[in-house]
Amino acid sequence: MIRKIKYLSFFILICLILASLAVPVTAAAIKGSNVWDQEQSMSSTYTWTPAMYSGFWYDLDRGIYTENITLTISASDRRIDANNAEYITEYENMRFSYADWGSYRVIGWLGEPYFAGYTRSSSGNNSTTQFTNSNVSTLSDEKLYQVLLDNKNEKSLSSGDSYTLENGYKLVVNDFNDSSKQFRLTLEKNGNSVKSENVSNNTTFVYERSLDDVGTAPVIAVHVKSFNGTRAVIDGIFQISESSTDVSEGKSVGAMEIKSVNETRITMKNPSRINLNRDSTVTLMSHIKIEVKDTSKLKFELVSNPETDMEKTYPDRGMVYDSSNTNKSWNGMNFPGFTYDYNNSTETENMSFDVSGTLQRSVSSGQIMYSTNAYNESFNYSNWGSYQAINLGGDNYFAGYLRYNSSHKNNTTNFTDSNDSILKDGNVSKVLINNGTEKQYNKGSDISLEEGYSLYVSNITDNGTKADLILKKDGSTVKEARVSSGDNFVYEASVGGTVVPIIAVRVTNVFEGSSTFVKIGGIFQISTKTTSVGPGTSLSNMRVEYTSSTALIFVNKDSINLARGSNITLMENLSLHVADSDELRFFPYNQSSGNNSTSSSLRIEVPETIYPYEEIMIKVVYRDGSSWKELADATVKVNGNTIGETNSSGAITYTLKDFGTYEFRAEKGGYNSVTLSKATAEGGDELQIEIPAYIFAEDSFRLYIKDSNNTNITGAGVYKNGEHIGTTNDNGMINVTADSTPGLYKLTANKTGYQPGTKEMKVLEYGPYFAVTDIAMPEDSLINKTVKIEMTIENVGKEKDTQEVTINAENKTETKKVTLSPGETKNITFSFKPNTAGESAVEVMNQTFTFTVTEKPKAEVPWKWILIGGGLLIIVVGAVLALMFYNEKKEEEKKNPKRPARGKETESKGFLGGLFGGSEDKEKKAKASSSKQTSRSAGSKPAASKPVSSKAASSSKPANTKSSSSASAAQTSKPKTPSHRFSSSSKAPELKNSQKKARKEQDKK
């Protein structure tokens, strides 16, 4: 006990250290690994046996197996060279289930047991066959026959009862004779008797027939245990197939070829090189494949039950514990039910027995230890990055989200900015949906989620750029959002007391055109129901000893007895299967993936292509030996909802409700449940449904189905609320009678090769019904500008009526009383001034019409245009003045042709000089020159003693010209004398005689 506590304490301490570093536990490669990992330094020549690989046949109860494959791997070149893959299988003598019959030769071939021959009887020798005296070797003739039945189950039969065997055979008992202690046992095939004889207690009934080239040999043996006059008891049945499997030399099986066959052995090798490319699956032989991981270093495992091989389902068991392999530890390398992290070459789960030496059937409390570590699990929609996951017994659970980091997108969650861990609070939650396949949903589609949630695509808006999504829980809306392409729709709820996103939906495209749809690239959902993993809590027989934000440790809380033939549940889906044998042999298996070797596996069959709104047949079959049989009374679920049980033919019908992916599940006690996902097929053009605009209760009308080119579609199925109501005729039409109950009904149409069409049909109550059938209104208007709306009101109903038609606008309500007979119309007008910018709505008769209102533009000073206009005005005015000046100059030159100096002077000053005062300056100079000439004409005679007034000094200018006075004054050498000033009303002074005389002389000159 002290040793056990020390071991547990040490293990917990290691886990604490690793958890604090947030590094998953790394274990060395375990003996018997099914995984081959270059980073684990494994041998380049490696052998897989049935004890370690579940794809090979292993009869656990009798401890018999015969197959193995050895691969010599060139890891650096990622290949297996020719003849470096070798498969060998050898026959063994195996006891019949009814042991008194001795033994027969059995050989494992591609994972299943085959009959290889009988050995001549030798009384009391268990290695021989007691019901034949012939040696039969099928390998000598390169033939194998499948073992169909080999059981020792007792079956009690009354007279007239029958016992069904394989391949159409049936046993019938009758003619009971109590006195002779005998009865008649008849073997029938397909209703015809092939052998009949009287049998008694402890008798073996044998039926022989020819087997290809092998000759005549027993194919059916039946042992009668007892007969008491009223009942016969059969306790042993053996049957082999009558059709053979060819194993002749040179035959190709996948990438392998049969190299040799003798009486004891079959050998196959690969004739060509096998390339192990990244992220590929290589078929070795039949359903046995190599699954190469997408890693830089070579890593792969052998697999035997991929989805494409539905007929080959095998227990996904872990490595077998037996006398030749006493390993007592399992992880993701030797147990496919546990997770193996190929990227980091680590195992996140480990189960071991803390027992020294050989295991005994009794295991004490605390001797089974199971540890699991959280790890980053990628979303199937890769752009979301990763979330924190943890496995419990092979089942994947949600542990938390990882705060988004743009530089580490792949290891964080991009739709949340928080580290939302529920594991730290001692809780985990099931991952319900992790879908990364892009799917298209039409407007009106209802996407079924888990736990009562559904997502409804209600509308496509904003010119086909956005979609309105509504999330409902049990029919009630919990969130609405308008999303664009590339947006995440996220809904949060409480999970174990922590509010985290429980549903995330990625919208990858929104489109509106000939068809209107939303494309969704990813859906992720976790359950709000938690599993408690806090210290002290128990999952079945395992108790939590330690919890952190990254790791859990469990031990068995009660003692366990590894009784022969038992199945022991450790926790949830993690169990042990113990052989029905005196020798202790067992292996772990995961129940959720159909790993119970004592139960039969189920298979679901549906049509290869399914379409929305069509009725399909779902069939459930189970594996019995080498064949599949129809299973009655199996419960069938579609998208989590039970639809019923299969009939005697193993079938049940179901009508698909909508476009999308359906999950079919079959369950029955004693069988491993199975789930099949299948998406409805996408057609080409989307079907269009045409119905009258107004439909009243019990109306009869014509419904048309057309394509986008308005072509009538023949043979389209039409459904109302999922119920088939007809198929269109040659004109693409069906006659429909509306329900007597008013309300909304969903119409759908489908046909192979087309996308289904949907339409909402509103059935109105019988009576009058007023509606706006025409309206004239502006597309846009200005604030406070009167808007006039004209509309036509029509009674589209069945009876005459008078109704008040109320028109509502943003700031005005008006009511008009209207009386109309069925089919009658009336035009009314309505005016108002919108006072708010944006979308303005007018409501009338439960109909809404909108137009856009904009604000009046603000008055802005157009400085640019003012400057440009001003510049142009100046140029024009300047041009006009220049023209006027030019004309004036021409007129003056005509009048005074002898004055060229003036023109020359003007030309010398240029255009601007002449335009702005050049003429006035020349007149001043001319007057000044005139004054000088007057002075010179006087000779040396001095000027008059009194200054000459301005008026007298110039004869060419009016008396009030001041510039002439200044020029005249400048010519005298005497000081200035102030001139006489006078108003406009004053008279000019009289000139003296001397002045008059001087004027006259000047004029003459």
pLDDT tens-digit map of 31-81: 578 999 999 989 999 999 999 998 899 999 999 999 999 999 999 999 999
102-106, 479-483, 771-775: range with lowest mean pLDDT: 771-775
In this predicted structure, what is the pLDDT of residue 400? 93
Model confidence at 934: pLDDT above 50: no
CA 244 remoteness from chain centre: 46
- Structure tokens that stand for 439 in this block: 């799917």
Q: What distances in angstroms separate CA 398 from CA 15, 25, 376, 383, 432, one per listed residue?
A: 20, 19, 10, 18, 10
In this predicted structure, what is the pLDDT of residue 939? 44
The average pLDDT across 247-271 equals 96
The set of residues, in sequence order, having a beta carbon less than 8 Å from that of 488 and lying 6+ positions away, is 415, 504, 505, 506, 507
CA angle 681, 683, 688 (to 5 degrees): 125
C-alpha to C-alpha distance for 374 and 391, rounded to whole angstroms: 7
In this predicted structure, what is the pLDDT of residue 235? 94
Backbone angles phi, psi at 18, to 5 degrees: -65, -40
The average pLDDT across 407-412 equals 72
User: Would you list the DSSP string of 384-414?
Assistant: GBEEEEEEETTEEEEEEE----GGGGGGSBT
CB 51 within 8 A of CB 324: yes
CB 336 within 8 A of CB 330: no
Q: What distances in angstroms separate CA 19 from CA 62, 375, 520, 762, 785, one per listed residue?
A: 43, 11, 37, 61, 72
Q: Which residue's entry shows tokens 């729709």?
A: 489
Q: How confident is the model at residue 999 (pLDDT cuts 50, 70, 90)?
A: low
Q: What distances in angstroms separate CA 810 from CA 772, 813, 849, 926, one per listed residue?
A: 19, 8, 12, 83
15-24, 139-148, 302-311: range with lowest mean pLDDT: 15-24
Residue with more model confidence, 615 or 587: 587
- Structure tokens that stand for 232 in this block: 């016969």
CB 49 within 8 A of CB 34: no
Model confidence at 408: pLDDT above 80: no
Q: What is the DSSP letter of 903?
A: H
CA 916 remoteness from chain centre: 85
C-beta atoms surrounding 310 within 10 Å? 16
CB 717 within 8 A of CB 614: yes
In this predicted structure, what is the pLDDT of residue 857? 63
C-alpha to C-alpha distance for 79 and 315, rounded to whole angstroms: 29
Q: What is the DSSP letter of 345?
A: T
Q: What are the b/e assignments for 169-181, b being 16+ CB within 10 Å?
A: bebbbbebeeeee
In this predicted structure, what is the pLDDT of residue 994? 52
In this predicted structure, what is the pLDDT of residue 523? 93
Q: How confident is the model at residue 312 (pLDDT cuts 50, 70, 90)?
A: very low
HSE of 386 in the Cβ direction (CA atoms, 13 Å)? 16
Q: How confident is the model at residue 612 (pLDDT cuts 50, 70, 90)?
A: confident
C-beta atoms surrounding 766 within 10 Å? 16
C-alpha to C-alpha distance for 340 and 34, rounded to whole angstroms: 11
301-305, 531-535, 805-809: range with lowest mean pLDDT: 301-305
> Closest Cα partner for 282 from 300, 258, 264?
300
Strand 671-672 to 723-727 pairing? unpaired
C-alpha to C-alpha distance for 302 and 279, rounded to whole angstroms: 14
Q: Which residue's entry shows tokens 């917990």?
A: 12
Residue with more model confidence, 979 or 109: 109
Task: Round to the nearest angstrom and report the end-to-end CA distance of the chain.
Answer: 156
pLDDT tens-digit map of 144-159: 999 999 999 898 999 9
The average pLDDT across 608-625 equals 78
The average pLDDT across 185-204 equals 93
Q: Which residue's entry shows tokens 């008798």?
A: 203
- Structure tokens that stand for 384 in this block: 């979301």
- Structure tokens that stand for 742 in this block: 């008013």
Strands (DSSP E) contained in 474-595 are: 476-484, 488-495, 498-512, 516-532, 538-539, 542-547, 551-556, 560-561, 567-571, 574-578, 586-590
Model confidence at 618: pLDDT above 50: yes
In this predicted structure, what is the pLDDT of residue 463? 83
How high is the mean pLDDT of the chain? 81
54-58, 388-392, 732-736, 941-945: range with lowest mean pLDDT: 941-945
CA torsion sign for 958, 960, 962, 966 is positive
pLDDT tens-digit map of 714-765: 988 898 887 889 899 989 999 999 988 899 998 988 877 677 788 999 999 9
The average pLDDT across 525-551 equals 91
In this predicted structure, what is the pLDDT of residue 31? 53
The torsion of the CA quartet 625, 627, 632, 636, rounded to 10 degrees, works out to: 100
C-alpha to C-alpha distance for 501 and 401, rounded to whole angstroms: 9
> Hey, what amino acid is at 527?
S
Q: Which H/E stretch holds residue 873?
A: helix 863-895
Q: What distances in angstroms separate CA 667 from CA 385, 674, 675, one per listed residue?
A: 34, 7, 9
Residue with more model confidence, 959 or 893: 893
The SS3 assignment for 912 reads helix
> Closest Cα partner for 172 from 146, 205, 130?
205
Strand 723-727 to 717-720 pairing? antiparallel
Q: How confident is the model at residue 197 (pLDDT cuts 50, 70, 90)?
A: very high
C-beta atoms surrounding 31 within 10 Å? 13
Q: Which residue's entry shows tokens 């007969």?
A: 227
The SS3 assignment for 634 reads coil
pLDDT tens-digit map of 693-704: 999 998 999 999
In this predicted structure, what is the pLDDT of residue 100? 93
Angle, helices 993-1004 vs 918-937, to 10°: value is: 110
- Structure tokens that stand for 282 in this block: 């290589």
Q: How confident is the model at residue 406 (pLDDT cuts 50, 70, 90)?
A: low
